[in-house]
Amino acid sequence: MNEPWWSQDVPISQMLSRKAAVRGIPLHGTFELTSRCNFSCKMCYVHGMENMEQLEQQELTTQEWLDIARQAKEAGMLFLLLTGGEAMLRRDFIELYEPLCDMGFRVVINSNGSMLTPEIVECFSKRPPARINISLYGASDETYRSLCGVPAYESVKTSIYRLREMGISVRVTMMLTTYNCGDMEQVHQTARDAGALCAMSSYLFPPIRLDEQTCGNNPGRLAAEEAGAYLVRRERLLSKDEEFLKRAQWAVQQSAAFNQSSSEGLPMQCLAGRASFWLTWDGKMRPCGLFDRIEMDVREVGFAKAWKEIHEKTLQIRLPRACANCPDRVLCHNCAAMTLAETGAFDKRPEYVCRMVEGMKTEYARQLKNME
Amino acid sequence: MKISKEFMLREIAGEYIVVPTGKAVFQFMGLITLNEVGRFLWELLQSKEYSMDQLIQKICQSYEVEEAVAQSDVREFIDALKSRGILSDD
């Protein structure tokens, strides 16, 4: 269901990704530069809230990141996502960003949009990222205060306009939670007015990276059926009428026509661990940022060995058998990370995700009826 | 005609990929794939100034191809680069 961030950007990437997945090349990399953030979002799965100075000391240094980047380039990395925490919070952000750009990666940045200093603007005027994904968590300071703990709406909006004026591609991203779902349409309008792309999701991972006890829960997320309905409303908002109608009809028919039987669970379907990796702020390589069951310390073993291990272990993962035989599979966007975060295992059926799909089906039917 | 060094040629997964870096990202935000002859021409145009005739001669010297075919292919390649703002006339 959800296209990864790179697939819509560059059509060539789809062809390259398929080749890389077959050959086991780490084409896509995410560098999680820091876990620190100046926001305190209620649903965050990375942000450490205490001992900021200690967290900073545990982060990979500028030289360590650059050394890993050179090794990753050697191994075939082309697409590089810089994320956090808030990546621009690092004191050495520019010192790190500039040489990464010059290495020949297609660099994209995830940011909360509140740290765009004059120095970073100057840096981007000479080395623009291929895209900046700015999280816009609401359409007012009130929403920001309730979800992120800071009244940052105006400053984030100003950053989006500033970047667009510079000619930089911006994608506004919104996580829909119980705190901000009422602002969905206004956020979309803000993105349109600024000439930015827009992406939204209503699925929030249980933050098991911070606390394993949260398995199956995220305090900020919507009830499963409602989260499913919001996925469809999002699609309605971001698509033209005829596109949505086609998609909704297809979704309902595909689900009804499904007829498959498998004796075992499917392997991982996304590129995680097959053609992409995630490197945490403290040097742990994982197939994806959202689970820690498989990880290697890059500082200890080097990039090539870490990738080899991650790749081999990823290929052994099997998703729940029930999912392989589920008629709603075409509508569902379940993945290994979701299954793990919801159930604590890769092969257990994630009930929350199943109920989300029920919510999607109900909402598709309601929308189709309204369109008739 | 010459191509800026800000466009970096890389070989990944058996494909020749051109990646814009620095200010070239403003000029061209995507990626380019090249075939073997495209890579050959690209590397020439990044090394120094070349005229259309010189490029055609280089192709004919390096590949077993008739001059008319080389002329057509080189023109198509150069036009594609110009239309994307990657190459400008000297």
Cα A138 from Cα A179, distance rounded (Å): 9
Mutate to test the interface with A, among B19, B34, B84 (most CBs of A within 10 A): B19
Least reliable range by pLDDT among A21-30, A69-78, A274-283, B28-37? B28-37
The DSSP H or E segment spanning B2 is strand B2-3
pLDDT tens per residue across span A87-102: 999 999 999 999 999 9
Pairing of strands A296-297, A284-286: antiparallel
Mean pLDDT of A314-332: 91
Structural domains counted in chain B: 1
Q: What is the pLDDT of residue A5?
A: 39
Identify the CATH number of the domain in which residue B39 sits.
3.90.930
CB of B4 less than 8 A from some CB of A: no
Pairing of strands B87-88, B2-3: antiparallel
A10 pLDDT tier (thresholds 50, 70, 90): low
Q: Shortest CA distance to A133 belongs to which of A80, A170, A165, A94?
A: A170
Mutate to test the interface with B, among A6, A14, A126, A127 (most CBs of B within 10 A): A127
Per CB-CB distance under 8 Å, the chain A contacts of B32 are 12
Do the Cβ atoms of B12 and A13 come within 8 Å?
no
CB of B64 less than 8 A from some CB of A: no
Shortest alpha-carbon distance between residue B51 and chain A (Å): 27
Least reliable range by pLDDT among A249-258, A353-362, B32-41? A249-258
Q: Could you tell me the pTM of the whole model? A: 0.93
B73 pLDDT tier (thresholds 50, 70, 90): very high
Q: Largest Cα–Cα distance in chain A?
A: 61
CB of A62 less than 8 A from some CB of B: no
Nearest C-alpha in B relative to A169: B29
Mean pLDDT of A253-275: 83
Name the DSSP letter for residue A330.
Answer: T
Q: What domain range includes position B7?
A: 2-88
The DSSP H or E segment spanning B19 is strand B15-20
Shortest alpha-carbon distance between residue A10 and chain B (Å): 6
Do the Cβ atoms of A167 and B21 come within 8 Å?
no
Q: What is the pLDDT of residue A2?
A: 41
Check: CB of residue A116 under 8 Å from CB of residue B14: no
Do the Cβ atoms of A16 and B15 come within 8 Å?
yes
Q: What is chain B's mean pLDDT, rounded?
A: 92
The DSSP H or E segment spanning B83 is helix B67-83
The runs of H, that is alpha helices, within chain A are 11-23, 52-58, 62-75, 93-102, 118-126, 141-148, 153-165, 184-194, 224-238, 241-257, 298-301, 303-316, 321-324, 336-343, 351-371
Do the Cβ atoms of B30 and A12 come within 8 Å?
yes
What is the sign, positive or negative, of the torsion defined by CA atoms of A9, A12, A18, A20? negative
Q: How many CB atoms lie within 10 A of CB B64?
A: 5
Mean pLDDT of A17-26: 96
Q: What is the pLDDT of residue A228?
A: 97
Express the helix, strand and coil content of chain B in percent, nearest 5 each: 50, 20, 30
Q: What is chain A's mean pLDDT, rounded?
A: 92
Mean pLDDT of A52-74: 96
Check: CB of residue A100 under 8 Å from CB of residue A82: yes
Do the Cβ atoms of A106 and B14 come within 8 Å?
no
Mutate to test the interface with A, among B6, B25, B46 (most CBs of A within 10 A): B25
Least reliable range by pLDDT among A252-261, A278-287, A316-325? A252-261
Q: Is the complex ipTM more than 0.95?
A: no
Which of A74-88, A280-294, A322-336, B21-35 is predicted most confidently? Answer: A74-88
Do the Cβ atoms of A128 and B26 come within 8 Å?
yes
Do the Cβ atoms of A19 and B10 come within 8 Å?
no
CB of A72 less than 8 A from some CB of B: no
A211 pLDDT tier (thresholds 50, 70, 90): confident
DSSP A47-115: ---S-HHHHHHHSPPHHHHHHHHHHHHHHT--EEEEESS-GGGSTTHHHHHHHHHHTT-EEEEEE-SS-
Nearest C-alpha in A relative to B16: A16
Q: What is the pLDDT of residue A6?
A: 40
The DSSP H or E segment spanning B40 is helix B36-47
B 20-49 residues inside an 8 A Cβ radius of A: 21-23, 25-26, 29-33
Do the Cβ atoms of A13 and B31 come within 8 Å?
yes
Do the Cβ atoms of A126 and B23 come within 8 Å?
yes
Q: Shortest CA distance to A73 belongs to which of A37, A100, A49?
A: A100
Per CB-CB distance under 8 Å, the chain A contacts of B33 are 12, 15
A8 pLDDT tier (thresholds 50, 70, 90): very low
Mean pLDDT of A344-353: 95
A270 pLDDT tier (thresholds 50, 70, 90): very high
CB of B85 less than 8 A from some CB of A: no
Do the Cβ atoms of A78 and B10 come within 8 Å?
yes
